[in-house]
Amino acid sequence: MTYLPKPRVQHPALTTNAIGLTRRDYEGALTTLCAGCGHDSVTAAIVQAFWELSVPPHTVGKLSGIGCSSKTPAYFLREAHGFNSVHGRMPSVATGAGLANSALALIGVSGDGDSLSIGLGQFAHAIRRNVNLLYLLENNGVYGLTKGQFSASADRGSKSKKGESNEMEPIDPVLVALTLGATFVARSFSGDKAQLVPLIKAGLAHQGFAFIDIISPCVTFNDHEGSTKSYAYTREHQVEVVHADFIPRREAIEAEQPADALTSVVLHDGSTLRLRRVADDYDPADRDRAYAAIRERQQHGEVLTGLLHVATGARDMAGQQQLPEMPLYQVPYDVLCPGADALAQLQRRYR
Amino acid sequence: MSQVNDFAFKIATANGTGSASANGLIMQAIFRMGVPVTGKNVFPSNIQGLPTWYEIRVNHRGYTGRTSRFDLMVALNPATYAKDIAEVQSGGWLLYDSTWPLEASLRRDDVQYLGVPLAAMCNEAFGGVRERILMKNIAYAGVLAALLAIDLDEIRGLIREKYGKKPALIASNDRALALGYDYAQAHFACPLPVRLERMDATKGRILIDGNTAAGLGAVYAGATVGAWYPITPSTSLMEAFRAFCERYRVDPETGRKRFAIMQAEDELAAIGMVLGASWAGARAFTPTSGPGISLMAEFVGFAYYAEVPAVIADVQRAGPSTGLPTRTQQCDLLLCAYASHGDTRHLCVYPADPREAFEMMVQAFDLADRYQAPVFFMSDLDIGMNDWMVPELTWDASYRPDRGKVLTPAQLDGMKVFHRYLDTDGDGITARTLPGEHPKGAYFTRGSGHNRFGAYTEDPDEYQDVMERLARKIQRAADAVPAPAVQPADTTTRLGLITIGSCHAACVEALDALAEQGIALDYLRVRGFPFADSIRQFVDAHDTVFVVEQNRDAQLRSLLMIETGAPRDRFVSVTHYSGFPISAQHVTAGVRARLERHA
Ligand SMILES: Cc1ncc(C[n+]2csc(CCOP(=O)(O)OP(=O)(O)O)c2C)c(N)n1
Ligand code: SF4
Ligand SMILES: [Mg+2]
């Protein structure tokens, strides 16, 4: 065996961020998904976004339901606690975790089966509560893990691998989220890292429920001709309307407004979202017009992507609950327990 | 016929008429006279207009179980006249509203009829439909005060405590009370032979319902997150928790709340929230009833396998399905002991009354944290929603929550590596960490196969290794759950009686009665699951063990057979599942019937 010294080139994965961590430090276990699965690209985008933001990995809680998509929290942020829950119920677990520790950065990963069939109720109610959670729906139009049945996001007329045609109306999670008043709604494509990474960063900084529907093709069961969730179909029909550039707080001050900027949104932590209008007449601040625009383009077979709606200033769950600054789980027992005297006094009313 | 300080009466009305507060007033006044008293509210699953009853039992010996013998019936609901009149003991009394004549067919020769024109009097004295209806209730309280010699001053005092700052209300209540009282004094030979006399037997005691006590227990245990989906009869548990938190847990400076209560979209979400909150380090719980447990089953199995603490309060009601939602039963004993798919077995605690509800709620949190597992707090509608006379609740100021093995950041700092499911000291319990605290603490909580290091596995040995440890861990909890309460008979006997939860009150009374009849039984009350060895020993020490419980299928007996391995013919079931709380008479009759058959 010959011995060759390694070239002294700095691998891009070894560049460090503001807290001295490399991209590797944001990775997890090796993926066990099919080669080429869209979900793995989303995982890579998550790693990139957290690394760029210099988030200490252990300050994150990563949660999921059940499905190929829901396996992915094992593949990023190995130093973060993970909670791979039960099918369709990740939102409730995230809700409880957020109540107990409002300082924890929560990211939830789900699939279209997990979110739109068995989990539609919990998905809806997490939106209603404006849980401070970045919710990624890795949408492939099928149940990957149970081998390719149509999911509720399958478009009408979309063909299964066996040639069956889906005759039912799809549930579009973006329209659902808009209807229910989600405060951050985006759609992206696993194959479009340039769009996805800033969206993930913006979603993390958003206070409240940040939803990103990510078309994430299933190469094994739904990437054939006739599928509307394939790589080819999505590449061809994706139309970006608003591109979000996320500018963290410390850079926000210097960032100047480029000529094509539509608007800037300052998030609660002082960071800025710079929204670049790619398509005409689209205003992400206007929920009703966003809804109408998405519907209209859908009728032309187009998939609008980008930051479709954002509203700042709404109270998130912790605010609605009037939780203290200190996470509930850290409040000392002495403060929580009314004590023996209070108990004696209270019981006068039961005599 | 029972006499002084030993009788029962029942008030029949329609729900939604406001009789509950008058009934409470009567109960509390009797209690303040120092006389032991219990009340059972028998109500419909309805908001307005259906029959409802309130049973009050006075007993100088302190028996608090339900009785089915009523000396006096206050029949104010014509819709149930026939049934109510039939229930009066021979030689008893029937009080009715004589504004309208009573049909001759409803007359019994062995019952004395006391007619009071309640509606007519109140229509004359009060204006407005609602006030007339409400004051009619206070008027019958006045009649009862005269008939039973309830101290009027006690009632007046209670009215003042209740309506302190509303003089107009106090005045009309006083007036209604006097209307009834004076009418009875003028028309009947007051007091009746069944009547009250002051005693000194309620000192150091309180009248409280189990849901209030359990809600208070959750506050004292340091619970900060409660998630629930409303369901009778558990609703008032969360309402109590909320009320106590509003009182004790709001930061006076900032107005921020040191608790979170989330009304979930269903019970699946409620238990999910509890697991999320526990995983993140809070003490969290959910109150529910049978149908909710069914929905929670999947997550309960998850919590068992992934070892996430959770406290689930099951305030049992009559099933199956919607069943009788406002009636009591102990019908989830089997469901909760083994809830979920796969090999699971859960810690359960079984309070017998509100005082134990308070104490066991606290214990449930300690057990959940120590064993990193779901713990079922098994109450029922009778305990949860009725007012019981119990010794005052006490609190040990030195109590500190047992949070179990939770590694601190400092401990993690000193460790080379952390493995979530590695049993380092052989007790079956492995250390956990909390998210957000330390990079070395990270682990992956999952319901899928995992090995002792917390990694995914499908390897048979690795899978079984964890499953066996879990079995050991839960079995060891048998010595940590509340120990059985044992009361040997005065004489040696080969007969035993085992019961659970709210049957206790009826059983102790029945045991006394049977002893007086020369039948001695050793007594054991199960208070926790998994069963302690002493339960098996108790069964072995007797030829026949009566098992008293409130469900059709003898679920406690099944549990005893499964868990102790004792043969089926050792046990004789005395079941009761009408939806009403079990009475001592039922237990006595059940035991006697068996003994007579084999005599
Ligand atoms: C209660 C329950 N029912 C059914 C299943 C089986 N199951 C596992 S994954 C899955 C569908 C997942 O689909 P999706 O969320 O779209 O994830 P994908 O695999 O496509 O990423 C189903 C039905 C389960 N795990 N639990
Ligand atoms: S089956 Fe589909 S979704 Fe699952 S890993 Fe393979 S490609 Fe991805
Ligand atoms: Mg899918």
In this structure, which amino acid lies at residue B5? Answer: N
The 10s digit of each residue's pLDDT in B395-420 is: 999 999 999 999 999 999 999 999 99
Share of chain B above pLDDT 90, in %: 95
- From the CB of residue B585, how many other CB atoms can be counted at a distance below 10 Å? 17
Residue nearest to atom 1 of ligand 1 (CA): A87
Q: Is B88 within 8 Å of B94 (Cβ atoms)? A: yes
Omega within 30 of 0 (cis) for the link into B191:
yes
Q: B549 - beta bridge partners?
A: B575
Q: Is B445 within 8 Å of B279 (Cβ atoms)? A: yes
DSSP E strands, B149-275: 205-209, 225-228, 260-263
Identify the pLDDT of residue B13: 94
State which ligand 1 atom lies nearest to the alpha carbon of A145.
19
Note the helical H segments in chain A. 38-53, 68-71, 90-100, 112-116, 120-129, 173-179, 193-205, 231-237, 249-252, 287-299, 317-320, 333-336, 339-346
3-class secondary structure, A292: helix
Q: Is A100 within 8 Å of B225 (Cβ atoms)? A: yes
Q: Is A317 within 8 Å of A132 (Cβ atoms)? A: yes
Rounded to whole angstroms, the Cα distance separating B153 from B177 reads: 11
Rounded to whole angstroms, the Cα distance separating B482 from B351 reads: 9
Max alpha carbon distance in chain B (Å)?
89
Residue nearest to atom 10 of ligand 1 (CA): A67
Taking CA atoms, B583 is separated from B6, B37, B66, B510, in Å, by 15, 15, 5, 8
Q: Which of B30, B37, B279 to mutate to probe the A interface, most A CBs <10 Å?
A: B279
Residues carrying CATH 3.40.920.10, chain B = 3-202
Would strands B347-349 and B528-529 be described as parallel, antiparallel, or unpaired? Answer: antiparallel
Rounded to whole angstroms, the Cα distance separating B505 from B38 reads: 11
Q: Which of A328, A334, A346, A349 to mutate to probe the B interface, most B CBs <10 Å?
A: A328
Instruction: Determine the residue of chain A that is closest to B216 in CA distance.
Output: A343
Q: Is B313 within 8 Å of B285 (Cβ atoms)? A: yes
In this structure, which amino acid lies at residue A178? Answer: L
3-class secondary structure, B58: strand
- Rounded to 10 deg, the angle between the B354-371 and B210-220 helix axes is 40
The 10s digit of each residue's pLDDT in B548-589 is: 999 999 999 999 999 999 999 999 999 999 999 999 999 999
The 10s digit of each residue's pLDDT in B225-283 is: 999 999 999 999 999 999 999 999 999 999 999 999 999 999 999 999 999 999 999 99
Q: State the architecture of B485-598 in CATH terms.
A: 3-Layer(aba) Sandwich (3.40)
Identify the pLDDT of residue B17: 85
Residue nearest to atom 6 of ligand 2 (CA): A34
Identify the pLDDT of residue B227: 98
3-class secondary structure, A211: strand
Tell how far the Cα of B306 is from the centroid of ligand 1, in angstroms: 19
Rounded to whole angstroms, the Cα distance separating B53 from B580 reads: 11
Distance from CA of B114 to the nearest CA of A (A): 31
B344 backbone dihedrals φ, ψ, rounded to 5°: -135, 155
Rounded to whole angstroms, the Cα distance separating B43 from B8 reads: 18
Identify the pLDDT of residue A260: 57
Domains of chain A by residue range: 23-320
Residues carrying CATH 3.40.50.920, chain B = 485-598
Residue scoring higher pLDDT (B598 or B470): B470
3-class secondary structure, A110: strand
Q: State the architecture of A23-320 in CATH terms.
A: 3-Layer(aba) Sandwich (3.40)
The 10s digit of each residue's pLDDT in B30-71 is: 999 999 999 999 988 888 889 999 999 999 999 999 998 899
A88 pocket-lining for ligand 1 (C-beta < 6 Å) = no
Distance from CA of B53 to the nearest CA of A (A): 22
Which residue, B508, B281, B541, B546, is CA-closest to B409? B281
Q: B75 - beta bridge partners?
A: B12, B96
3-class secondary structure, B185: helix
Q: Is B262 on the interface with A (CB under 8 A)?
A: yes
In this structure, which amino acid lies at residue B573? Answer: S
Rounded to whole angstroms, the Cα distance separating B224 from B251 reads: 14
Q: Is A96 exposed, middle or buried (0-12, 13-18, 19+ CB in 10 A)?
A: buried
Q: Is B592 within 8 Å of B518 (Cβ atoms)? A: no
Q: Is A281 exposed, middle or buried (0-12, 13-18, 19+ CB in 10 A)?
A: exposed
The 10s digit of each residue's pLDDT in B180-209 is: 999 999 999 999 999 999 999 999 999 999
Q: Is B474 within 8 Å of A113 (Cβ atoms)? A: no
Q: pLDDT tens per residue, chain A (351 residues)?
A: 345 555 555 676 689 999 999 999 999 999 999 999 999 999 999 999 999 999 999 999 999 999 999 999 999 999 999 999 999 999 999 999 999 999 999 999 999 999 999 999 999 999 999 999 999 999 999 999 999 999 999 999 999 999 999 999 999 999 999 999 999 999 999 999 999 999 999 999 999 999 999 999 999 999 999 999 999 999 999 999 889 988 887 675 555 555 555 678 888 888 888 887 776 678 889 999 999 999 999 999 899 999 999 998 899 999 999 999 999 999 999 999 999 999 999 999 999
Residues of B with CB below 8 A from A56's CB? 439
3-class secondary structure, B215: helix
Which residue, B58, B73, B50, B38, is CA-closest to B386? B38
Q: A338 - beta bridge partners?
A: none
Q: Which of these CATH numbers, 3.60.10.10, 3.40.50.970, 3.40.50.2300, 3.40.50.300, describes B208-391?
A: 3.40.50.970
Dihedral (CA of A335, A339, A345, A348) sign: positive
Please give the radius of gyration of chain A, using alpha carbons only, rounded to the nearest integer: 22
Q: B310 - beta bridge partners?
A: B374
- Token pair recorded at residue B333: 């004993």
Rounded to whole angstroms, the Cα distance separating B65 from B583 reads: 6
Residue B494 pLDDT > 70 = yes
**Confidence category of residue B15, pLDDT binned at 50, 70, 90:** confident
Share of chain B above pLDDT 70, in %: 99
The 10s digit of each residue's pLDDT in B495-541 is: 999 999 999 999 999 999 999 999 999 999 999 999 999 999 999 99
Identify the pLDDT of residue A281: 74
A66 pocket-lining for ligand 1 (C-beta < 6 Å) = yes
Instruction: Please report the residues numbered 80 through 119 in chain A whose beta carbons come closer than 8 angstroms to any beta carbon of chain B.
Output: 80-86, 89, 91-101, 103-104
Which residue, B548, B574, B214, is CA-closest to B379? B214
- Token pair recorded at residue B40: 């059972």
Q: Is B338 on the interface with A (CB under 8 A)?
A: no
Distance from CA of A322 to the nearest CA of B (A): 5
Which residue, A28, A76, A80, is CA-closest to B440? A80
Which residue, A334, A319, A104, A110, is CA-closest to B276? A104
The interface pTM score, or ipTM, of the predicted complex is 0.96
When the pLDDT of each residue in chain B is averaged and rounded to a whole number, the result is 96
Residues of A with CB below 8 A from B251's CB? 324
3-class secondary structure, A18: coil
With tokens 């006279």, the residue in question is B33
Residue nearest to atom 16 of ligand 1 (CA): A113
Chain centroid to CA B315: 7
Rounded to whole angstroms, the Cα distance separating B369 from A335 reads: 19
- Token pair recorded at residue B192: 């009746």
| Per-residue burial over B442-455, b = 16 or more CB atoms within 10 Å of its CB, e = otherwise | bbbbbbebbbbebb
CATH code for the part of the protein at B3-202: 3.40.920.10
